Amino acid sequence: MGQDITLTASDKFELGAYRTTPEGTPKGAVVVIQEIFGVNHHIRTICDRFAVQGYVAVAPSIFDRTERNFQSGYSPEEIAIARKFVANPDWAAMLRDTQAAIDEVKDVGPIGIIGFCLGGSVAFSAATKLTGLSAAIGYYGGAIVKFAGDKPLVPTQLHFGEQDHGIPLSDVEIIRAKRPEVEVFVYDGAQHGFGCDERASYDKASADIARQRSLAFFAKHLVK
């Protein structure tokens, strides 16, 4: 269903990406931003699922500036390795690469962005700084609280787990207070990564509700 492509950022850096295209005329497009585990099987599956829903989807490899085509699973050893990529994150570079993905699908129709873990933070920041978007969704982005003073330029929805040990509920309340216009959902008993069905922390009940809310949000805001 999908294919590997190359994107070119504004500074001429070339990065990889995974793109899927639905059958028939697309409703619009969705940029999918990875966790710290790269554009791995899980992220590609998310793109494939958006194609089934009628959207073109593209997932840029935002770690290519450090290590090309990095992909990882979710074992403790793999998690430890993946964390090295965010020891000192270059947010500006990741946003340039995200803008390249947005530009890749700008002729398709209205564009949404969705991100998970690190990607959730990138998606929120993209909503406040980048051009070409119509809606943004972030799942359990730990750095969103740092960016909460920035106002999104498009409708934005956020999802957090109540038992996420990396994102205390006090951070979520700060985000709510600073950004009352943003939809914020907290899932009882859910941990970090609850939306990924390849992780031990997967919470199907919470993930299903979050997915339904996400699809409804895009259906509302990605309108030609």
Strand partners, 8: 14
- Three-state helix/strand/coil letters over 47-59: HHHHHHCCEEEEE
Of 117, 159, 203, 221, which is the active-site residue?
A: 117
Query: Residue 92: enclosing H or E segment and its boundaries?
Result: helix 91-104
Q: In 3D, which of 62, 176, 207, 171 has the Cα closest to residue 123?
A: 62
What count of Cα atoms within 13 Å lies in the side-chain half-sphere of residue 64?
Answer: 20
Is residue 209 exposed (0-12), middle (13-18) or buried (19+ Cβ within 10 Å)? middle
Instruction: State the amino acid at position 220 in one-letter form.
Output: K
Q: Which of 47, 192, 196, 221 is catalytic?
A: 192
Task: State both tokens at 118.
Answer: 């690190």
What are the tokens at 16? 């990889």
**Is 208 noted as a catalytic residue in this protein?**
no
Q: Which residue shows structure tokens 């899932």?
A: 187
Here the tokens at position 51 are: 């194609």
Alpha-carbon distance of 13 to 107, in angstroms, equals 22
Per annotation, catalytic residue among 64, 97, 103, 164: 164
Annotation says 164 is catalytic: yes
Give the tokens for residue 27: 């409703």
Q: Is 221 a catalytic residue?
A: no
Q: Name the one residue in this structure whose structure tokens are 């059958």.
A: 23
Catalytic sites, residue numbers: 117, 164, 192
